[in-house]
């Protein structure tokens, strides 16, 4: 393990922490970064890392929103269950079901679509979709302005949109936010529900990746994974708070333009250099 390898692990964690929560595709950015800066020469480890490093980012959600997502409370030396939070988790479970069903295709999509041109194309496509939806949504009044207003039907529809993120470059948060906006959910509620939805999805995906890879790591691989996760956690703490403040005054259009510009640059690189 060299100092350069640790810096590369830190760089991947930094990119994960930023892009996991912004609707610009964390997996897509990781694949693109790996095109220019190789994480390791072990393809199986890299594929596992790109998923499991997200646990660091997810833990930031747990820490920031702990009071809103942990249903077991204590008051005056007595423990009780907050049924409002339990109801939220029931809705999250419903929203997760489509992703669980689609997980049987993960290996096929990973083998055939984890490619440079697919990521670039999806960046552009969903960038255009974001801009179109935000223009359509301008001036409209949201129907769902609180997490309590999310029905099981709404949760299921958002979960169905999340399945779109199985294609690299789409963005899990981007897909769910698009779906939420289309059915009248406010931006702040859409973003917050997306954060909570990521908890079971990413823990489940990481567990499957670790089981598939096995728990036998070399010292350098373990250090790379730990450094990446810690960095992703630290960066996510800032990015989540930034995004929640940003969307109170702005829409997601800027992220749409970012996706389009980056996608065009990458396609130019692909056809001009490769």
pLDDT in the model for residue 1: 60
The SS3 of residue 184 is coil
Q: How far is CA 180 from CA 87, 110, 161, in A?
A: 19, 26, 9
> In the chain, which stretches have pLDDT less than 50?
none
Task: Check: CB of residue 43 under 8 Å from CB of residue 29.
Answer: no
Half-sphere CA count of 86, side-chain side, radius 13 A: 6
Q: What are the tens digits of pLDDT across the range 219-259?
A: 899 999 999 999 999 999 999 999 999 998 999 999 999 99
- Residue 219 burial by Cβ neighbours in a 10 Å radius (0-12, 13-18, 19+): exposed
Report pTM. Answer: 0.90
Domain residue limits at 57: 3-272
The total number of structural domains in the chain stands at 1
Q: What are the tens digits of pLDDT across the range 182-224?
A: 999 999 999 999 999 999 999 998 998 899 898 888 889 999 9
């Amino acid at each position: 393990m060299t100092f350069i390898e640790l810096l590369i692990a830190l760089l991947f964690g930094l990119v994960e922490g930023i892009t996991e929560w912004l609707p610009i595709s964390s997996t897509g950015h990781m694949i693109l970064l790996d095109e220019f800066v190789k994480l390791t020469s072990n393809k199986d480890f890299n594929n596992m890392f790109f998923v499991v490093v997200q646990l660091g980012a997810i833990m930031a959600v747990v820490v920031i929103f702990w009071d809103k997502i942990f249903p077991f409370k204590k008051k005056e030396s007595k423990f009780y269950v907050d049924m409002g939070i339990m109801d939220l988790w029931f809705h999250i479970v419903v929203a997760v079901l489509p992703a669980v069903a689609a997980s049987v295709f993960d290996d096929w999509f990973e083998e055939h679509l984890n490619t440079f041109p697919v990521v670039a194309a999806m960046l552009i496509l969903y960038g255009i979709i974001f801009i179109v939806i935000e223009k359509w949504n301008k001036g409209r009044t949201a129907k769902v302005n609180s997490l309590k207003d999310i029905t099981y039907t709404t949760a299921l529809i958002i979960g169905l949109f999340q399945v779109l993120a199985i294609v690299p470059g789409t963005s899990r948060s981007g897909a769910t936010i698009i779906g939420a906006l289309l059915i009248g959910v406010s931006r702040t509620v859409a973003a917050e529900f997306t954060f909570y939805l990521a908890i079971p999805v990413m823990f489940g995906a990481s567990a499957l990746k670790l089981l598939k890879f096995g728990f036998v790591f070399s010292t350098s691989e373990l250090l790379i994974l730990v450094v990446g996760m810690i960095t992703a956690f630290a960066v996510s703490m800032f990015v989540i708070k930034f995004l929640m403040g940003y969307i109170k005054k702005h829409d997601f259009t800027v992220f749409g333009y970012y996706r389009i510009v980056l996608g065009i640059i990458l396609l130019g690189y692909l056809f001009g250099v490769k």
